[in-house]
Amino acid sequence: MFSKIKRAIDKSFNEMVDIRRYLHQYPELSFKEEKTAKYIANFYKQLGLPYQEKVGGNGVIATLKGGKPGKTVGLRADFDALPIQDEKDVPYRSRVDGVMHACGHDGHTATLLVIARVLKEFQDDLPGTVVFIHQHAEEMNPGGAKPIIESGALDHLDAIFGTHLWSGIPVGRIEISKDVLMAGADSFRITLHGKGGHGSEPHETKDAITIGAQLVTQLQTIISREVNPMRTAVLSIGKFHAGTAFNVIADKAEIDGTVRYLDLEVQAQIIEAMEKHIKGICLANDITYTFDYAKGYPPVVNHKKEAELVMEAKDSIEDIQEIVEVEPSMGGEDFAYYLMEKPGAFFFTGALKESNPYPHHHPKFDFDEKAMPIAAKTLIKAYLNYQEASY
């Protein structure tokens, strides 16, 4: 049966491309994806599959019950876009100013919709149940995965699989881990409240810029001198805003950044250390501060058995040249929440477009659409492998 499914996926390539390019032209930001959600719901309505709308917000979930007994397996795709101006010179360039699918979520959606249509052709022969999870708001904390889970709509799942089309990996290569695949991703803002004044009289001020510079330097020692070097973590300052004029000493400074980690103990250690360094420097300089730390998505931790089922797909999918176990990426993904609740695995599908090798979240981002059928076949095979392994 899988051979027939593969052929059906290949024959549906143009449909995948058409869907992806349509969605690419009409992107919507996180938590505002109403038209995209309606497009997805209408697809399932025309397909004749039962579906739910507004799950956990703008989520859409459809269900295909196979004709043979088996487990219930979820396949997930996200569908939100980013606040980026599309600078590609292509016919399917975004028509929405300042909004762009710069991370491949349009491709994820097209892939899952075509998977649903193809599997419906084989419904009577399919084991168990496939749940198609179209998730909103992956790009913006707190994300769409958590409210979808909290809605109870996925309580009946036995396992879940997902993939991310990845422009930094050649087409035909799949990357996965049997443990941690992606990092936890947090953000923070430190506001220093000093005392401003004239640039000629620094002794009458409490210079927020000078104090902030000390703090930025000091924070870097947390990773290099306090966290065990065998336990991976990142602390990066992305924004330092202070001052209004060349001859005015700033009374306030805002420092924004991100923390990435692979386990919760390191996250807690970093937060505690940051508080200590901030408090110490501000005390020494006689100023006050506010420290706002936002915990984002936790690490994406694959389950070993389910990751191995994905890896077995290479034996029956000719388009896959290699499946490689990799070290964790320090990027974040709210697929993590699903894996905290259910067995499953997340993997990267190579989608490098050699003529346009710009990274994710770049204004000229694009990906090789030939990656979509590979992603589709791998997800389907993971679902089938899970059914076989369960009996």
Q: How confident is the model at residue 36, as a pLDDT?
A: 98
**% of residues, the chain, pLDDT over 90:** 99
Position 361 confidence tier, pLDDT thresholds 50, 70, 90: very high
Position 9 confidence tier, pLDDT thresholds 50, 70, 90: very high
- Of 80, 106, 207, 319, the active-site residue reads 80
pLDDT digits (tens, 9 = 90+) for 77-100: 999 999 999 999 999 999 999 999
Position 116 confidence tier, pLDDT thresholds 50, 70, 90: very high
- Are 117 and 237 within one domain? no
Q: Tell me: pLDDT of 390 over 90.
A: no
Q: Tell me: pLDDT of 391 over 80.
A: no
- Are 23 and 97 within one domain? yes
Cα–Cα distances in angstroms (integers) from residue 187 to residues 19, 123, 138, 190, 239, in the given order: 34, 44, 16, 10, 11
What is the CATH classification number for the domain harbouring 75? 3.40.630.10
Q: How confident is the model at residue 330, as a pLDDT?
A: 95
Position 383 confidence tier, pLDDT thresholds 50, 70, 90: very high
- Are 114 and 15 within one domain? yes
Q: Which two tokens stand for residue 60?
A: 């859409």
Q: Tell me: pLDDT of 370 over 80.
A: yes
- Are 155 and 217 within one domain? no
- Are 97 and 57 within one domain? yes
The span from the CA of 293 to the CA of 299, in Å, is 17
| CA end-to-end distance (rounded Å), the chain | 18
Q: How many domains does the chain have?
A: 2
- Are 170 and 315 within one domain? yes
CB 366 within 8 A of CB 353: yes
pLDDT digits (tens, 9 = 90+) for 145-159: 999 999 999 999 999
pLDDT digits (tens, 9 = 90+) for 293-328: 999 999 999 999 999 999 999 999 999 999 999 999
Q: What Rg do the C-alpha atoms of the chain give, in angstroms?
A: 24
* 362 annotated binding-site participant: no
- Are 206 and 146 within one domain? no
How many Cβ atoms are within 10 Å of 86's Cβ, its own excluded?
26
- Are 31 and 158 within one domain? yes
| Parent domain of 207 | 184-297
Domain boundary among 297, 316, 333: 297
Residue 139 Cα to chain centre, angstroms: 6
- Of 28, 86, 138, 175, the active-site residue reads 138
The span from the CA of 306 to the CA of 378, in Å, is 12
Q: How many CA atoms lie within 13 A of 207 on its CB side?
A: 15
Q: How confident is the model at residue 76, as a pLDDT?
A: 98
Q: How confident is the model at residue 275, as a pLDDT?
A: 98
* 139 annotated binding-site participant: yes
Domain boundary among 297, 318, 351: 297
Q: Tell me: pLDDT of 108 over 80.
A: yes
E strand spans, the chain: 51-55, 59-65, 68-78, 127-135, 159-166, 173-176, 180-182, 184-193, 197-198, 233-242, 248-249, 252-261, 288-297, 300-301, 322-325, 344-350
Domain boundary among 297, 332, 362: 297
* 282 annotated binding-site participant: no
The span from the CA of 126 to the CA of 71, in Å, is 11
HEC profile of 273-289: HHHHHHHHHHHHCCCEE
- Are 16 and 136 within one domain? yes
- Are 326 and 216 within one domain? no
Question: Any catalytic annotation for residue 138?
Answer: yes
What is the CATH classification number for the domain harbouring 286? 3.30.70.360
pLDDT digits (tens, 9 = 90+) for 214-232: 999 999 999 999 999 999 9
* 198 annotated binding-site participant: no
Give the chain's largest Cα–Cα span: 82
Picking from 71, 3, 67, the residue whose alpha carbon sits closest to that of residue 388 is 71
Q: What is the pTM of this model?
A: 0.94
- Are 168 and 207 within one domain? no
pLDDT digits (tens, 9 = 90+) for 10-40: 999 999 999 999 999 999 999 999 999 999 9
* 361 annotated binding-site participant: yes
- Are 94 and 163 within one domain? yes
Question: Any catalytic annotation for residue 155?
Answer: no
Backbone torsions φ then ψ of 141, nearest 5 degrees: -60, 135
* Residue 182: burial class (beta carbons within 10 Å; 0-12, 13-18, 19+): buried
